[in-house]
């Protein structure tokens, strides 16, 4: 993208530890997204690195240093090993950045002329999505942009209502105050609390199967003993005749 036009790069301040604090639903949305992407990578053995409000070492369009901390950042080939920070120079541009916004941040998150939207897309981030978990902003709940053939285009939902990420085979869709992830087959990735419910249900089912098996074995043993008792009684009666 051309950097020839005038932009207000002063918008692109470095994030600090205080910046991502957010509200309960802000942090919950981030956690569910990060854990869902990590689960997806583990299930399909994908070399993804999923950053949770992790520092990205890069530069502003004017060449000065910039250290943003995207709420959710995915590098598709960087691997799952824990990292203190990611580097544009060493790791390349993230394949996906999601900002879970709020009233204090949305103007900067959505600004395509000098804010984070413009800054991230200038870095070469192919998929950039802003999500409003509590629908409190004067914009749609999701707004994003994608780079297609080095051209910035609005990231619009497809006919299925999903926001499909370029090059990752996954998609997203708002679901209340959370952003649902869909895998390569279009199946919803369980949120962490749903996963716990599924695990509990599976454990309960296994316990019931074990109990049923024990009941069948007990009944079989009782039947075997009863047959043995009847045969013994029959033998005794024959011996008396």
Render pLDDT for 88-141 as a digit per residue (tens, 0 to 9): 999 999 999 999 998 888 999 999 988 999 999 999 999 999 999 988 888 889
Task: Return the number of other C-beta atoms located less than 10 Å from residue 87's C-beta.
Answer: 13
Q: In angstroms, rounded to a whole number, what is the distance separating the alpha carbons of residues 131 and 126? A: 17
Please state the separation of Cα 20 from the chain's center in Å: 18
pTM for the predicted model, two decimal places:
0.77
Q: Name 240's Cβ contacts closer than 8 Å, sequence gap at least 6.
A: none
Q: Name 177's Cβ contacts closer than 8 Å, sequence gap at least 6.
A: 25, 28, 29, 133, 134
Evaluated on CA atoms 86, 89, 90, 95, the torsion sign reads positive
**From residue 126, how far is each of 21, 69, 95, 114 by CA, in Å?**
26, 17, 6, 18
pLDDT at residue 3 greater than cutoff 60: no
């Amino acid at each position: 993208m051309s950097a020839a036009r005038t932009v207000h790069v002063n918008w692109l301040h470095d994030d600090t530890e205080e910046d991502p604090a957010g509200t309960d639903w802000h942090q919950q949305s981030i956690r569910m997204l990060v854990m869902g992407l990590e689960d997806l990578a583990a299930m399909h053995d994908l070399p993804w690195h999923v950053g949770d409000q992790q520092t990205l070492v890069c530069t502003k369009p004017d060449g000065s240093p910039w250290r943003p901390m995207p709420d959710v950042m995915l590098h598709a080939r960087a691997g799952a090993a824990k990292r203190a920070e990611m580097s544009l120079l060493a790791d390349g541009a993230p394949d996906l950045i999601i900002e879970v916004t709020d009233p204090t941040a949305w103007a900067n998150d959505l600004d395509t002329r000098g804010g984070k939207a413009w800054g991230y897309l200038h870095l070469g981030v192919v998929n950039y999505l802003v999500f409003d978990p509590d629908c409190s902003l004067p914009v749609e709940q999701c707004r994003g942009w994608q780079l297609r053939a080095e051209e910035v285009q609005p990231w619009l939902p497809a006919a299925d209502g999903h926001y499909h990420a370029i090059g990752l085979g996954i998609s997203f869709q708002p679901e209340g105050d959370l952003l649902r992830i869909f895998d390569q087959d279009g199946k919803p990735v369980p949120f962490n609390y749903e996963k716990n419910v599924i695990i509990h249900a599976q454990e309960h089912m296994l316990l019931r199967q074990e109990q049923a098996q024990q009941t069948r074995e007990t009944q079989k043993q009782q039947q075997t003993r009863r047959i043995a008792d009847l045969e013994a009684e029959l033998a005794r009666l024959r011996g008396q005749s």
